[in-house]
């Protein structure tokens, strides 16, 4: 079945460590996104990519990094520079814009700093 | 800047009662509008979307939404709610010219009283 797979579902990080969250899609979508979700704040955009080897910062990119070497994959690294990384992270993908636009979401990764 | 406001953080309704969740947006042109639903610890699922044409949009699970340009609103409605409708609901606007992304509201958590 086509869809978006995020792994792992739960992730624990020690302070000062970098961690990488995986996002893979088999929908043949050009665009991919990373959102952060905190209680009462909705979804905030971290990074997005509209094409392979290109990506743009979203509203809260500080302390995060991404790569887009393959169309199917858009991993997110939470670096030690991110001061408050504990959150629920959602990956999404879509075709390019227009009336057919629809963003599909993965099941999320919950990151906890211990 | 584009923005979405969901005025109600938490709504409680009785099973069988009608539901209306409010969404107001700020955007300089005709927007693309979306409603998503999220169950606890899960990703987001698209309920419905508006691009153009008929301002009353039908979605999945018996939901509908009405686009009112004069009020910059896109409220979600359901005539009779079930216990399974308890979830968090997000309104979103986008994508924007030159920026392939969605902007989300803060979300409304819906509780159903049996």
Residue A98 pLDDT class (50, 70, 90 cuts): low
Please name the residues between 2 and 61 in chain B that touch chain A, using a CB distance below 8 Å: 6, 9, 32, 34, 36, 41-46, 49, 51-52
Residue B62 has pLDDT above 80, yes or no: yes
Q: What are the strands, taking DSSP E only, across chain A? A: 4-7, 10-13, 19-25, 31-37, 43-51, 54-57, 64-66, 76-78, 87-94, 104-105, 109-113
- Residue B106 touches partner A, C-beta closer than 8 Å: yes
Instruction: Identify whether the C-beta of residue A21 lies closer than 8 Å to the C-beta of residue A32.
Output: no
Please give the Cα distance from A54 to A44 (Å, whole number): 20
**CB < 8 Å to A108, chain B:** 41-43
> Measured between CA atoms, how close is B5 to chain A, in angstroms?
10
Chain A residues within 8 A of B7 when measuring between CB atoms: none
**What average pLDDT does chain A have?**
92
| Token pair belonging to B109 | 């958590």
Taking a C-beta distance cutoff of 8 angstroms, is the pair A11, A20 a contact?
Answer: no
* Residue B61 phi, psi (nearest 5): 60, 25
Whether A21 and chain B come into contact, CB under 8 Å, resolves to no
Per-residue pLDDT band for A2 (boundaries 50, 70, 90) equals confident
Judged by DSSP in three states, A11 sits in: strand
How crowded is the C-beta side of B96, counted as CA atoms within 13 Å?
A: 13
Which pLDDT score, from 0 to 100, does residue A40 have? 77
């Amino acid at each position: 079945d086509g869809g978006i797979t995020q792994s792992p579902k739960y992730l624990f990080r020690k302070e000062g460590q970098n961690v990488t969250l995986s996002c893979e899609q088999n929908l043949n979508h050009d665009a991919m996104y990373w959102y952060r979700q905190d209680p009462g704040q909705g979804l905030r955009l971290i990074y997005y990519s509209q094409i392979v080897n290109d990506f743009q910062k979203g509203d809260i990119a500080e302390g995060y990094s991404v790569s887009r070497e393959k169309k199917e994959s858009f991993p997110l690294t939470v670096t030690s520079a991110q001061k408050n990384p504990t959150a629920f992270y959602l990956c999404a993908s879509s075709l390019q814009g227009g009336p057919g636009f629809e963003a599909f979401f993965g099941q999320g990764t919950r990151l906890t700093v211990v | 800047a584009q923005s979405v406001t969901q005025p109600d953080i938490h709504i409680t309704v009785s099973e069988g009662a009608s539901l209306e969740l409010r969404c107001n947006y700020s955007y300089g042109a005709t927007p693309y509008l979306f409603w998503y639903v999220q169950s606890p610890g899960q990703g987001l699922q698209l309920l419905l979307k508006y691009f153009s044409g008929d301002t009353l949009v039908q979605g999945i699970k018996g939901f509908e939404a009405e686009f009112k340009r004069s009020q910059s609103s896109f409220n979600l409605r359901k005539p009779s709610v079930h216990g399974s409708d308890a979830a968090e609901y997000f309104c979103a606007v986008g994508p924007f010219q030159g920026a392939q992304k969605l902007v989300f509201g803060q979300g409304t958590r819906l509780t159903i009283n049996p």
